[in-house]
Structure 1
Amino acid sequence: MNSENKQSTAALTLAAIGVVYGDIGTSPLYTLRECLSGEFGFGIEQQSVFGFLSLIFWLLVVVVSLKYISYVMRADNAGEGGILTLMSLAGRNTHATATAVVLILGLIGGSFFFGEVVITPAMSVLSAIEGLEIAAPSLDVFIVPISIVVLTLLFVIQKHGTGLVGKLFAPVMLLWFILLAVFGINGIIKNPEVLHALNPWYALQFFLHYKTISFFALGSVVLAITGVEALYADMGHFGKLPIRIAWMLVVLPSLVLNYFGQGALLMKHPEAIKNPFFLLAPDWALIPMLILATLATVIASQAVISGVFSLTRQAVRLGYLPPMRIIHTSENESGQIYIPVVNWLLYTAVVLVIVSFKHSSNLAAAYGIAVTGTMVLTTLLSCTVARKNWHWSLFSVVPLCIFLLCIDVPLFSANLVKILSGGWLPLTLALVMFIIMTTWKSERFRALRKMHEHGNSLEAMISSLEKHPPVRVSGTAVYMTRVKNIIPFALLHNLKHNKVLHERVVLLTLRTEDAPYVHNVHRVSIEQLSPTFWRVVASYGWREIPNMEDIFHRCGLEGLNCRMMETSFFMSNESLILGKRPWYLRLRGKLFLLLQRNALRAPDQFEIPPNRVIQLGTQVEI
Structure 2
Amino acid sequence: MSNDASPPGGRKALPLVALGALGVVFGDIGTSPLYAVQLCFQNDPSFAHDPASIIGVLSLILWSVILIVCIKYTGFILRADHEGEGGTLALLGLIRSKVPPLPFARPSALTLLVLLGSALLYGDGMVTPAISVLSAVEGLKLASPVFEPFIVPISVGILLALFVSQHLGTEKVGRFFGPIMLLWFAAIAVLGLAGAWQHPAVLAAFNPIAGLRLLVGHGWAGYAVLGAVILCVSGTEALFADLGHFGRHPIIVAWYVVVLPSLALSYLGQGAALLTDPAQAANPFFALVPHWALYPMVTLATVATVIASQALISGAFSLTQQAINMGFAPRYAVVHTSENTPGQIYLPVVNYVLMVGCLALVLGFRSSDALGSAYGLAVIGTMTITSMTFYVVTRCVWGWSRPRALALMAAFLLMDGGFLVANLAKLFSGAWVPLLIGGVVFAILLIWTTGRSRFREAMAKLSMPLPEFQQMAECWQQREHGGAVFLTENPDKVPMIGHHEWLRTHVTHENVLLLRVETTTRPHVPEAEQLTIEDLGGGIYRGVARFGFMHPPVMSRALAEGLPFDYARAVFFLPLVVVKPAPTWWRGIFRRLYLFLGRTGLSPIEYFDLPVSQVISVGIELKL
For normalisation by structure 1, the TM-score amounts to 0.95
What is the alpha-carbon distance in structure 2 between the residues aligned to residue 392 and residue 509 of structure 1?
35
What is the alpha-carbon distance in structure 2 between the residues aligned to residue 3 and residue 132 of structure 1?
42
- Give yes or no for contact 1:510–1:539 (8 Å, CA) kept in 2: yes
- Give yes or no for contact 1:40–1:213 (8 Å, CA) kept in 2: no
What is the alpha-carbon distance in structure 1 between the residues aligned to residue 598 and residue 261 of structure 2?
50
CA positional deviation for 1:410: 0.8
1:24 aligns with 2:18: no
Q: Which amino acid aligns with 2:526?
A: H
Q: Give the equivalent residue in structure 2 for 1:543.
A: 550
1:562 aligns with 2:604: no
Q: Give the equivalent residue in structure 1 for 2:3.
A: none
Deviation by residue 1:32-61 (Cα, 9 ceiling, x = unmatched): 111113357534321111000000000111
1:590 is matched with which residue: 589, 592, 599?
592
Deviation by residue 1:239-276 (Cα, 9 ceiling, x = unmatched): 00000000000000000000100110111111212211
CA positional deviation for 1:304: 0.3
Deviation by residue 1:158-200 (Cα, 9 ceiling, x = unmatched): 1111111111100110000000100001101111111111111
Other structure's SS at 1:526 match = strand
What is the alpha-carbon distance in structure 1 between the residues aligned to residue 456 and residue 400 of structure 2?
39
Deviation by residue 1:457-479 (Cα, 9 ceiling, x = unmatched): 2321222222x215311122222
1:358 aligns with 2:366: yes
Residues 189 and 397 of structure 1: CA distance in aligned 2, closer, same or farther (over 3 Å): same
Q: Give the equivalent residue in structure 1 for 2:530.
A: 523
Other structure's SS at 2:47 match = coil
Residues 333 and 217 of structure 1: CA distance in aligned 2, closer, same or farther (over 3 Å): same
CA positional deviation for 1:490: 3.1
1:260 aligns with 2:268: yes
CA positional deviation for 1:435: 1.3
Other structure's SS at 1:37 match = coil
Q: What are the equivalent positions in structure 2 for 1:48-67 lying under 5 Å apart?
A: 48-67=53-72
2:82 is matched with which residue: 77, 91, 111?
77
Deviation by residue 1:213-232 (Cα, 9 ceiling, x = unmatched): 21111101111000000000
Q: What are the equivalent positions in structure 2 for 1:179-218 lying under 5 Å apart?
A: 179-218=187-226
- Give yes or no for contact 1:476–1:503 (8 Å, CA) kept in 2: yes
What is the alpha-carbon distance in structure 1 between the residues aligned to residue 212 and residue 218 of structure 2?
10
Q: Give the equivalent residue in structure 2 for 1:342.
A: 350
Deviation by residue 1:491-513 (Cα, 9 ceiling, x = unmatched): 33364575221221222211011
- Give yes or no for contact 2:516–2:544 (8 Å, CA) kept in 1: yes
Residues 95 and 619 of structure 1: CA distance in aligned 2, closer, same or farther (over 3 Å): closer
1:605 aligns with 2:607: yes
User: Which range is displaced more, 324-333 or 87-96?
Assistant: 87-96
Q: Give the equivalent residue in structure 2 for 1:461.
A: 469
1:511 aligns with 2:518: yes
Residue identity (%): 39
Other structure's SS at 2:75 match = helix
- Over the aligned positions, Cα root-mean-square deviation in angstroms equals 2.1
User: Which range is displaced more, 362-371 or 389-398?
Assistant: 389-398
CA positional deviation for 1:571: 1.1
Q: Which amino acid aligns with 1:610?
A: V
Q: Give the equivalent residue in structure 1 for 2:235.
A: 227
1:158 aligns with 2:158: no
Residues 248 and 486 of structure 1: CA distance in aligned 2, closer, same or farther (over 3 Å): same
1:572 is matched with which residue: 553, 567, 575?
575
What is the alpha-carbon distance in structure 1 between the residues aligned to residue 398 and residue 26 of structure 2?
28
User: Which range is displaced more, 296-305 or 276-285?
Assistant: 276-285
What is the alpha-carbon distance in structure 2 between the residues aligned to residue 456 and residue 242 of structure 1?
52
- Give yes or no for contact 1:494–1:500 (8 Å, CA) kept in 2: no
2:485 is matched with which residue: 474, 478, 483?
478
What is the alpha-carbon distance in structure 1 between the residues aligned to residue 494 and residue 96 of structure 2?
30
Question: Structure 2, unaligned stretches of length 5 or more?
Answer: 1-5
The aligned length equals 616
Q: Which amino acid aligns with 2:543?
A: V
1:489 is matched with which residue: 492, 496, 501?
496
Deviation by residue 1:384-433 (Cα, 9 ceiling, x = unmatched): 21122212233422222222211110101100011101111111111111
What is the alpha-carbon distance in structure 1 between the residues aligned to residue 402 and residue 468 of structure 2?
52
- Give yes or no for contact 1:523–1:554 (8 Å, CA) kept in 2: no
Q: What are the equivalent positions in structure 2 for 1:101-500 lying under 5 Å apart?
A: 101-466=109-474, 468-493=475-500, 495-496=502-503, 499-500=506-507
Q: Which amino acid aligns with 1:17?
A: L
Q: Which amino acid aligns with 1:61?
A: I
Other structure's SS at 1:529 match = strand
Q: Which amino acid aligns with 1:36?
A: F
CA positional deviation for 1:372: 0.5
Residues 99 and 580 of structure 1: CA distance in aligned 2, closer, same or farther (over 3 Å): closer
User: Which range is displaced more, 87-96 or 251-260?
Assistant: 87-96
Question: Structure 1, unaligned stretches of length 5 or more?
Answer: none
Q: Give the equivalent residue in structure 2 for 1:618.
A: 620
